Structure 1
Amino acid sequence: MAAVPVWSVDPRDGTRRGQVAVEATAAHVDAAVRSAEAVRGALADRTARAAFLRAAAAELEDDRAELIALADAETALGPTRLDGELARTVTQLRAFADTVDAGRFLDVIIDHPNDTVTPPVPDLRRYKIPIGVVAVYAASNFPFAFSIPGGDTASALAAGCPVVVKAHPDHPATSERAAAALRRAAPRAGLPEDVVQLVHGFDAGLHLVRHPLVAAAGFTGSIRGGRALFDEAAARPTPIPFHGELGSLNPVVVTEAAAAERAEEIGTTLAQSVSLGHGQFCVKPGLVLVPAGRHGDRLVTALAGALEKVPSGVLLDERMRRAYLDGMAARGALPGVHADVPAAADGAHEVRAGLLSLPAALLAEGDGHDLLIEECFGPAAVVVRYTGPEEVDAILARLPGNLTATLQISREEAEPGTREVAGTAARLLPRLTALAGRVVVNAWPTGVAVAPAQHHGGPYPASTSTSTSVGETAVERWLRPVVYQNTPDALLPPELREDNPLRLPRRVDGHPA
């Protein structure tokens, strides 16, 4: 069977920039996974792991100019945006190195024998160990932060798991360059380069999730693609955890008081969030509930005016461009839907932002308008005009799970102790909390801080698990707990020995120690 070439394509004009690699066959994937498994033991050294993550950050910084040039040529995201994303990726790698050093993720818990309770407690010592080889599926819209050197890879390596990454076809040359940087970094920390492997091709993704030595998978992408892989992971003879981020509508609710207070500000800043990165962020606000009437009209006018001024842009590939235009056309053709700003093709490869609006009653009834509560990837949003809290509740009750949900309230509503807090914000926050992994108040969800308290995930289909893919606790996805009972101290791993030779944080007999 002839090798299938992998091409680097410029989305600005659709031209092939050159062949980068060939698609991996089942034999190639098998070799990559077995190579990763063979060096798994080398990652047991936490000091070496932390040094590796910092060396990877340094290698990426050294390669900054070349990486940004490659990524811009393959994604059209622009050097400024890509420079910031690479900086975020480097920060993320170093943050996970700090996590490894601190050792909190090991979650060491020790209970000494206690025969005064029923049933008696024996000597129990619990911690977490790496799960094994992790398959990582790179995202289209983040060629650094959610791709080869991104959060899934960094957190898996921090946990002590080697990775095999399936590159996204939209940026194969960038993927090769980033993987080379990580593989150069490994020997600098005394680790074999095979702790990071890279494969290309759609079939490679299927072979990877089916491989018996792959112990878990991380995915960022579409509902359709993610669900197919999720089902494959569950259908294996030995099912494996599949941590997928699949899609999100990211609803926004604007209260009547907020619209009255700052309609123009909300509309203008919302347009910036909707169009950021040409609307290709997973946390782009896609459905906006605004009050019907004069103040809501002011907000929508400001939003529409700002979106009309957004320059046309290139989406990541022609498939996404076509899906955006077709999706907005199908939504705009639904009864009662008005195109405040028509989404449009601008030349052969660019698109313009779009805005649709409709009365809340049409969506609340759920009669033929279900398409409006599905994500439309690109620089557009749907505005729903509600007449009262009952319509807001009815629409929120119809929404699937999301990465984020946003509430815009007035200064008076935000002031503790006022009646409005009890009547509006406090009533809406629990409803939004049920829908999303991150609830945003008087800000916008685009921009995901890399911080220990961050959570990037949410109820299905936003993600397939309750874990986060951003922040310190992302490492927990690639660990499993194990308990030693009545085990002689000399036989215990160092993390669990009585004298705590590694000086790890631990909980002993219910108390921090």
Structure 2
Amino acid sequence: MAAEPVWSVDPRTGKPREQVAVEAGAEDVDRAVRAAHGVRESLADRAVRAAFLRTAADLLDGARERIVETADAETALGPVRLTGELARTTAQLRSFAEVVEEGSFLDIRIDAPDPGATPPRPDMRRWKIPLGVVAVYAASNFPLAFSVPGGDTASALAAGCPVVVKAHPDHPATSELCASLLRGAAAKSGLPEDVVGLVHGFDAGVALVRHPLVAAAGFTGSVRGGRALFDAAAARPVPIPFHGELGSLNPVVLTTAAVAERAEELGAGLAGSMTLGQGQFCTKPGFVLAPTGEAGDRFVDALGAGLSATGPGVMLDRRMRDAFVAGVTERAALAGVGTPVAPGAGDAHTVSAGVLAVDAALLAEGDRHDLLLEECFGPVTVVARYSSRTEITEVLSRLPGNLTATLHIATEATGATEATETAEATEATGATEAGGDADAASLLAELTPLAGRVLVNGWPTGVAVAPAQHHGGPYPATTSTATSVGATAIERWLRPFTYQSTPDHLLPPELRDGNPLGLPRR
């Protein structure tokens, strides 16, 4: 049976651009994984790894125009957005080069022997070692930063793990181009090109996670697809870690005090955040709790004005467009749901941004409106109007896990008297005080279990690549407690290992007496 062709498709027209590859069969996947496994020791030298990551960044930057042009033709994300995403991608590679050189990610811990301890303690030296070949599943909405040269690949290579990437079908030409640049960077750094492999096709993705030489996997995509791969990883004869980012509603709570202070600013800010990248960001704020009353009405009006000023846009592919149109149509048909600005189809290839409005009491009283508490990928958000503090708690208690949660409070500090008022007094004051800034601490405490990152007075559609970043959250946001962004993303591809009573000359240099490499140790 002939291999199926892999086509690059223009989402603006729905027409094929070019055939760029063929789908990988089981033998192709086996060959790619075995090749990667066979060269894993070549990544043992940290200096070589760091140089490789920097060279990869330089080659990607050097091919900027070609990469941006190719990615735009396949995703319709636009040159400005893609130029910024490429800069983020190369900065991420260089950041991990610094992590590799600095060495604290090895988490070196040395215990001197103590025969007099109870029980006696031998000489023990602990550090972290790479797991092996990592399968990376590229994301649709970030053709660079979360795809072939993205964070999963960069962090795995930094850990000393070769990667085999399963390309996303929405940008196969971009994937081929970036993979060739990474493989070229490997050769230029004195490494085998097979430290980076690439395969295409749905069946290849399944075969990849099941391959016995694949030691871990990283995924960014849908709940359905991610859960299927997660289950496959767990069902293997030897299960492997599966770090999947699946879906997130990213709830926002607007206190009455915040809306009274700056309703128009909040409406405009939400409109900009939820339509960024046509609402195709994993951190899009898709659910908002806003107060009833005149200030809340002004917020909804400002949000509607911002959305109305946003023209129709192209989504990443026809399947996602059709799913968005079907999803918002089904949600808008629920009893009690209004459409201050109706989301849906633009023309044959575009969608229009919109907002769905509902009373929070309807969400709190049962499961008839649970669909509104599920992510709808694309430029839409749900605004639930609350009239009491109790309704906020009731709705939050029904939300699934998320990447982010956001709290907007008044920028003027509340006094100590307000901050210490009792819950009974707060509830009795009604909508004016309910959810106000005197209750900010308890709202923050309620949001904390729902997400991996909580923002105050900001918008979540911006994920800084920084050591303190955490891009993960309770299921279904992610399948593990790890982050896929920031320096600690490297920890996903390492495992602790201890040498006990081992002669110094047999230890790796990182663990020898005298600390010859000058690494951080405990």
TM-score, length-scaled by structure 1: 0.97
Q: What is the alpha-carbon distance in structure 1 between the residues aligned to residue 238 and residue 117 of structure 2?
A: 38
Superimposed CA distance per residue, residues 357-414 of structure 1 (whole angstroms, 9 cap, x where no aligned partner)? 000010011231110110000011000000111100011100000000000000235x
Q: Structure 1 residues 164, 331: closer, same or farther in 2, change over 3 A?
A: same
Counterpart CA distance in 2 for 1:364 and 1:64 is: 49
Unaligned 5+ segments in structure 2 are 422-437
Q: Secondary structure at the match of 2:146?
A: coil
User: Paired residue for 2:433?
Assistant: none
1:126, 1:484 within 8 Å by CA — same for their partners in 2?
yes
Aligned match of 1:431: 446
* Contact 2:324-2:344 within 8 A present in 1 as well: no
Moved more, 217-226 or 112-121: 112-121
Q: Which amino acid aligns with 1:441?
A: V
- How far apart, in 2, do the equivalents of 1:488 and 1:367 lie? 63
User: Structure 1 residue 176: deviation in Å?
Assistant: 0.3
In structure 1, the residue matched to 2:276 is 276
Tell me if the contact between 1:459 and 1:466 (Cα under 8 Å) persists in the aligned partners.
Answer: yes
What's the counterpart of residue 44 of structure 1?
Answer: 44
Which residue pairs with 2:502 in the alignment? 487
Q: In 2, distance between residues paired with 1:453 and 1:90?
A: 19
Q: CA deviation at 1:120?
A: 2.2
For residue 412 of structure 2, give the secondary structure of its aligned residue in structure 1.
Answer: helix
Alignment of 1:286-325 (within 5 A): 286-325=286-325
Q: Deviations over 1:319-362 (max 9, x none)?
A: 00001010000000001000111112111100100100000010
Deviations 1:170-224 (A, max 9, x none): 0000000000110010122111111000000000000000000000000000000
Q: Distance in 1 between matches of 2:287 and 2:417?
A: 28
Q: 1:430, CA displacement in angstroms?
A: 1.1
How far did 1:418 drift?
A: 6.2
- Describe the SS at the equivalent of 2:275: helix
Change (3 A) 1:421 1:403: farther
Find the counterpart in structure 2 of residue 226 from structure 1.
Answer: 226
CA distance in 1, matches of 2:22, 2:157: 26
Matches within 5 A, 1:377-392: 377-392=377-392
**1:417 Cα deviation after fit:** 4.8
- Choose 28-37 or 421-430, whichever is displaced more: 421-430
Which of these residues, 441, 446, 468, is aligned with residue 453 of structure 1? 468
Tell me how far apart the structure 2 counterparts of residues 492 and 155 of structure 1 sit (CA, whole Å).
25
Q: Larger deviation: 440-449 or 108-117?
A: 108-117
Match of residue 418 from structure 2: 419
Shift in CA distance, 117/418, structure 1 to aligned 2, threshold 3 Å: farther
**Do the aligned partners of 1:412 and 1:420 also contact (CA within 8 Å) in 2?**
no
TM-align CA RMSD: 1.0
Q: Distance in 2 between matches of 1:366 and 1:219?
A: 33
Alignment CA distance shift 1:238-1:383 (3 Å): same
Contact 1:412/1:418 (<8 A) preserved: no
Alpha-carbon deviation of 1:469?
0.2
For residue 21 of structure 1, what is the aligned residue in structure 2? 21
SS of 1:434 mapped into structure 2? helix
State the partner residue of 1:346. Answer: 346
User: Residue 478 of structure 2 corresponds to which residue in structure 1?
Assistant: 463
Q: Secondary structure at the match of 1:467?
A: coil
Deviation at 1:416, TM superposition (A): 7.9
Aligned twin of 1:511: none
User: 1:124-175: per-residue Cα shift (whole Å, max 9, x none)?
Assistant: 1100000000000000000000000000000000000000000000000000
| Alignment partner, residue 63 of structure 2 | 63
Structure 1 residues 172 and 138: alpha-carbon distance in aligned structure 2, compared to 1, 3 A threshold: same
Cross-structure match for 1:510 = none
**Matched AA of 1:419:** E
136-145 or 340-349: bigger deviation:
340-349
Greater shift in the superposed pair: 484-493 or 88-97 = 484-493
Q: Any idea what SS the aligned residue of 1:296 has?
A: helix
Query: 2:88 — aligned with what?
Result: 88
Change (3 A) 1:421 1:168: farther
1:466 aligned partner, one-letter code: T
Unpaired runs of at least 5, structure 1: 508-513
Cα separation, 1, equivalents of 2:367 and 2:519:
57
- Structure 1 residue 6 displacement after superposition: 0.2
State the identity %. Answer: 68
State the SS of the aligned residue for 2:480.
Answer: coil
In structure 1, what is the equivalent of residue 395 of structure 2? Answer: 395
Matched pairs, number:
506
